[in-house]
Structure 1
């Protein structure tokens, strides 16, 4: 299922981010038109940086977030990279401390990947990326902003990406939620496809 401009707006609205007309430019076309990943790209290591003095997250951080999303999002999701990019940049635009937390946590995860596999996290294959998170104990960690590396990964990288996806109409349909929170789908969204009304009754 393809994530669209409508999904990005829905996710940002659910997260409490005001998205006015013309406030953001959405171009959902990707280089390969499928998973949202670029066809050919050199992945850079995530370096520690002071994001409070910048306007957004670095490309290396976005690539790492997309690699995390590739692990935790259903494989049926399309336009993932663009969705992650637009959502996280807008979500952190006016939250410098939160943006710094994401950048620092991304740098920590990337350092682990380079230490264990001699390559940036965004460059390892999907199986290795999944195993790395599992071996760090992220699956069972509580989301804590100032906790252990596993707890910070859960807080800054995992939970927000999952929340973003499943508050969208497309993400909701993937798990059987026809009307995600904050999405006015009307009475039709509550009706199962196999339910019919006999006009003679």
Structure 2
């Protein structure tokens, strides 16, 4: 299944993520967090390095049957960070913590590790068992700002919901066709 920019935009609209103007064009391509183009109103907390790490995490936590992960993550995250500066700072800090953890235990940034080592790093960091807390420990922040946010975007998107069999979740009528078809269609 192919994730598209349209999927990411659908999630942003459903989540009410502020203005979608930031989704129409890529964010400043600066390579480093905290720098932006001279014409920017301020620093860009989520730059190319952070986006690369977010894509690397998504490649680990998303089902292997999904294609188009980089453009989906970049579009969704770009829209989210454009809509909320506090969220953008939280994402940047959580990604920084994940990269520090990877460098300490594996000798390189998270995105530079092999897929199996990335999966292992998330397991050893225990992001699958900690509570997601925005101002908690490093693992809790990674769970809140990175893993949970990426999974929310995936399963809220039309493609992700379809892959999980959630095109018409309970409580959503889905039109007259859903009443005519049984659950095992």
Q: What interval of TM-score do these two structures reach, taking the shorter chain for normalisation?
A: 0.7 to 0.9
In the alignment, what sits opposite 2:3? 3
In the alignment, what sits opposite 2:24? 25
In the alignment, structure 1 segments of 5+ residues that lack a partner are: 28-43, 196-201
Q: What SS does the corresponding residue of 1:85 show, helix, strand or coil?
A: helix
Match of 1:99 among 88, 92, 96: 88
How many aligned residue pairs are there?
176
What's the offset of the Cα at 1:23? 6.7
Match of 2:51 among 45, 62, 66: 62
Runs (4+) of structure 1 exceeding 6 A deviation are none
Q: Quick one: structure 1 residues 98 and 194, their matched pair in 2 at CA, closer, same or farther if it must change by over 3 Å?
A: closer
Is 1:158 the equivalent of 2:157? no
What's the offset of the Cα at 1:147? 0.5
Is 1:188 the equivalent of 2:168? no
Match of 1:142 among 131, 136, 161: 131
Q: Quick one: structure 1 residues 193 and 124, their matched pair in 2 at CA, closer, same or farther if it must change by over 3 Å?
A: same
Does the CA-based 8 Å contact 2:35-2:44 persist in structure 1? no
In the alignment, what sits opposite 1:34? none
In the alignment, what sits opposite 2:104? 115
Does the CA-based 8 Å contact 2:17-2:80 persist in structure 1? yes
In the alignment, what sits opposite 2:63? 74
In the alignment, structure 2 segments of 5+ residues that lack a partner are: none
Using the alignment, how far apart are the partners of 1:94 and 1:156 within structure 2?
Answer: 15
Q: TM-score, normalised by structure 2?
A: 0.82
Higher Rg: 1
Q: Deviations over 1:24-62 (max 9, x none)?
A: 4379xxxxxxxxxxxxxxxx8xx6648992356200000
Using the alignment, how far apart are the partners of 2:2 and 2:80 within structure 1?
Answer: 21
